[in-house]
Amino acid sequence: MTAESKSTEFTENGLIKKPDVVLIGGGIMSATLGIILKKLDPELTIQIVELLSSVAMESSHAWNNAGTGHAALCELNYTSVSEDGKVDISKAIGINESFELSKQFWASLVEDGVIEDPAEFIRTVPHMSFVRGADNVDFLKARYEAMSGHHFFDEMEYAEDAEQIAKWTPLLEEGRSSAEKTAVTRVDSGTDIDFGSLTKVLFNHLVSLDGVELATSTAVRDLDQKKSGEWEVKVKQVGDFFSEKIHASFVFIGAGGGSLKLLQKSDIPEGEGFGGFPISGQFLVCNNQELVEKHHAKVYGKAAVGAPPMSVPHLDTRVIQGRNSLLFGPYAGFSPKFLKKGSMLDLLSSVTLDNIGPMLAVGRDNMNLTEYLYQEVINTHTDRMDMLREFFPDAKDEEWDLVTAGQRVQIIKKDPEKGGKLQFGTEVVAAKDGSLSALLGASPGASTAVAIIIEVLETCFADEMANPEWVEKVQSMVPSYKYSLAEDKELYERTRAKADAALKIAK
């Protein structure tokens, strides 16, 4: 039976009345889950509900994120130093493997003809780490030695020599005192990704499939689980007075910053105690093509004291819709909104009896974060430029403009010892019966979308995902699924070569 022959009924506003699946949010996460689900079971009917007038307009939009293909090639916050002084690369290995899964999936879509030209969203841009001062140089060297021994990072190069650094990235050395000690690592195969373009391509394909409908300018207002186990989803078109109800057996809350409030509305016990703290991101952008042409890399530095991990400063080449520019940031800002186009009441209205304890505990234990945010908010253009000048000493105030990127809602969760803690990763929260799943947080984000969505599937479709038929289908999209690329060098090299060739990013 095909999806269409299931005699689909529609509401007045054209939504499927009883879809098998409701995907809330038109970002990269819903798009990825929708495509994988339809491949696993082509008969599924799926209703996508997006608040804004089009998909990919919040965090997944190219200008709302930094477009880094996070593979842990340059982000210093993915490697920590343990008490015995050793550099721990385990987190970096996990993130690199997750990024490979995403690449494999996108490559399978190129092979299937879904993505016509991968150059429209992905390209190689070298990934570099950059440090200043003797202690930081020692750290970077130790990190390079620990990482370059693993096959994920064996292409990494290291330099302290100013001439070599200037050859790779002239802007970093122009105007810098020769007395200052600096060092860099470099991996040529890093990537810059336009996640907005990618998300649109994914949705264009998804909505072309039988049994899939997208409702834009439509908000999910409430979620209620019925005795039968199915979810009643209350939706309202922007500008309408009345809402409509649709019913589904599985609901995915991929609403980005809007996920926390919808999770709270679902009332599932697994969602209790979660709170959120919004941090907005801003970047300096330079369109002077003379400078743009001189810099071809994403250069990540060290975070300031008290700064959250996603505020690591970086000077990047960006390519958005064929236009090159330079980007520096992010600078953190504070806004009580949970979405860029959200409400000033978002933060206040997310406080409930069950999360006020963890939220207060986080406020008490994170005074350095509060101080950092306060400082960021009061910074002037010149203060921001001074931070940029640590990377690019000759940067001129008048050549850089401030743009506001997306909002991130950092997760606050219960902690048995401290009462509450702030978490910087992504959290998959799922109902015990597997009928609902919500994604909270946004880091490392879009780059690891496939690994995150596989986690959602393994949690909510546990029986099906244990079935060899589904395993085989997942492997047709993500060939290394169920294997470890970190442990199997030959498999890593083989799958990576195939994916890179399909994505046209091979050396």
Ligand X SMILES: Cc1cc2nc3c(=O)[nH]c(=O)nc-3n(C[C@H](O)[C@H](O)[C@H](O)COP(=O)(O)OP(=O)(O)OC[C@H]3O[C@@H](n4cnc5c(N)ncnc54)[C@H](O)[C@@H]3O)c2cc1C
Residue numbers at the binding site for ligand X (CB under 6 A): 24-30, 49-52, 57-60, 64-68, 70, 195, 219-220, 254-256, 258, 262, 281, 330, 339, 405-406, 408, 439, 442, 444-447
Which helix (H) or strand (E) element contains residue 412?
Answer: strand 401-415
Nearest to 89 by CA among 100, 77, 101: 77
Dihedrals phi, psi of 104, to nearest 5 degrees: -60, -40
Report CA-CA distances (Å) from 314 to 72, 285, 344, 348, 445: 14, 12, 29, 32, 17
Nearer to ligand X, 334 or 470 (CB): 334
Give least dist CB 406 to ligand X, A: 3
Report, in Å, the least distance between residue 446 CB and ligand X: 4
Q: What separation, in Å, do the N-terminal and C-terminal C-alpha atoms of the chain show?
A: 45
Taking the complex as a whole, the smallest distance from the CB of residue 205 to ligand X amounts, in Å, to: 16
CB atoms within 10 A of CB 375: 14
Nearer to ligand X, 182 or 266 (CB): 266
Helix axes 90-111, 489-502, angle to 10 degrees: 40
Smallest separation, CB 3 to ligand X (Å): 22
Q: Which is nearer to ligand X, 126 or 254 (CB)?
A: 254
Q: Which one, 45 or 407, has the nearer CB to ligand X?
A: 407
Residue 165 or residue 262: which is nearer to ligand X going by CB? 262
Nearest to 89 by CA among 97, 157, 191: 97
Nearer to ligand X, 176 or 337 (CB): 337
Max Cα-Cα span within the chain: 75
Q: Closest distance between ligand X and the C-beta of residue 143, in Å?
A: 20
Q: For ligand X, which is the closer residue by CB, 122 or 439?
A: 439
Nearest distance, CB of residue 206 and ligand X, angstroms: 13
Torsion of CA 396, 400, 405, 411, to 10 degrees: 10
Phi, psi at 333, each rounded to 5°: -135, 165
Which single residue brings its beta carbon nearest to ligand X?
A: 27
Distance CA 463, CA 452 (A): 18
- CB of 1 vs ligand X, minimal distance in Å: 29
Neighbours of 335 (CB within 10 A): 16
Three-state secondary-structure class, residue 455: helix
Task: Give the residue with the Cβ less far from ligand X, 64 or 169.
Answer: 64
Tokens of 245: 């109800």
Name the minimum Å distance from CB 468 to ligand X: 30
Question: Which is closer to ligand X, CB of 260 or CB of 395?
Answer: 260
Whole-number minimum distance, CB 248 to ligand X, in Å?
Answer: 14
* CA 465 to chain CA centroid, nearest Å: 24
SS3 string, 189-222, reads CCEEECHHHHHHHHHHHHHHCCCEEEECCEEEEE
